[in-house]
Amino acid sequence: MRRGQPPQRSQGLFFPAGHCEGIRLGGYLLQGGYGWNSKVLGPACESVLGLEVVTADGEQIYCDPENHPDLYWAARGSGTGFFGVVTSFKLRIYRRPAVLGTCLYMYSIELVDEVYTWGREMSPEIDDRVELQILATCAYPAAGIDHPAITVASPVFAEPEEEAAKALAALGTCPVVGRAMINIPYAPTNLAGWYTAVMSNYPKGPGAARRRYGGSWSAAVHRADRDIDGSTARHYRPDHDRGPSGRTCSHGPTSSPA
């Protein structure tokens, strides 16, 4: 995928882009990249088929398994330690899963022990198509909750819809599920809704995202002229309305190393 030529939504294509808006492809792919549906598709760097690189000598080379395999190997995980400047990535892209769904359970903060104990115990058994998220939040105004609460909201990429609902069923097994303030075992949603939900958890303004992510993001992230990778994420958003999970209080899968 070259700069300015992102795949078209209309072609039903998908790439495991990062969970937040504004993540650029350069750093994301070089450092591994754990994005949407990465439990199934693997870290994003595993979908790098080749790269154009400018070396320290100013030479422009193409790296793939046959050409400069050492640099190709290093590029997929070296992060900030890469030895050249990548000017383009050739990526494997995927058919977009037909269904993106979610569950939504909300518990009072008093149930924190029960919910997190259950979450830790069941997380290894979760279906790979589900990105488990259990998050504490200080309030959830969209649902009229103005006190601390725990949200269990997990995207699932599967098809058909019955499979998606089945994959999420394990998230309804919390021993205190009968005391949930909100109990929605399955609802269809879309990436636009998830991006909105994720970004609603970040403070706005310059440096805001970096405050959350401990400085891994350079100041360049705020430069509008480097929008290629933010726009990549947006390109995977369906055009239709956001689903019922569009205002969940979540910031990214708990399984994400990001």
Residues 47-76 that bind ligand FAD (CB under 6 A): none
Q: Which stretch binds ligand FAD (CB under 6 A): 6-14, 118-126, 177-185, 215-223?
A: 215-223
When asked if residue 26 is in the footprint of ligand FAD (CB under 6 A), the reply is: yes
When asked if residue 80 is in the footprint of ligand FAD (CB under 6 A), the reply is: yes
Q: Is 33 left (phi over 0), alpha (psi -120 to 50) or beta?
A: left
> Is 62 or 213 the residue whose CB approaches ligand FAD more closely?
213
Residues 5-24 that bind ligand FAD (CB under 6 A): 18-20, 23-24
Q: Which stretch binds ligand FAD (CB under 6 A): 33-41, 112-120, 136-144, 231-239?
A: 33-41
Among 170, 183, 184, 176, smallest CA distance to 110 is for 176
Helix (H, G, I), strand (E, B) or coil at 258: coil
When asked if residue 169 is in the footprint of ligand FAD (CB under 6 A), the reply is: no
**Parallel/antiparallel/unpaired status of strands 85-91 and 149-152:** unpaired
Q: How far is CA 228 from CA 3, 63, 204, 243, in A?
A: 7, 21, 21, 26
Please state the φ and ψ torsions of residue 207, each to the nearest 5 degrees: 80, -5
Please state the φ and ψ torsions of residue 132, each to the nearest 5 degrees: -65, 130
When asked if residue 86 is in the footprint of ligand FAD (CB under 6 A), the reply is: yes
Which residues sit at the interface with ligand FAD, rule CB under 6 A? Answer: 18-20, 23-24, 26-28, 30-31, 33-35, 80, 82, 85-86, 209-210, 212-213, 216-218, 220-221, 252, 256, 258
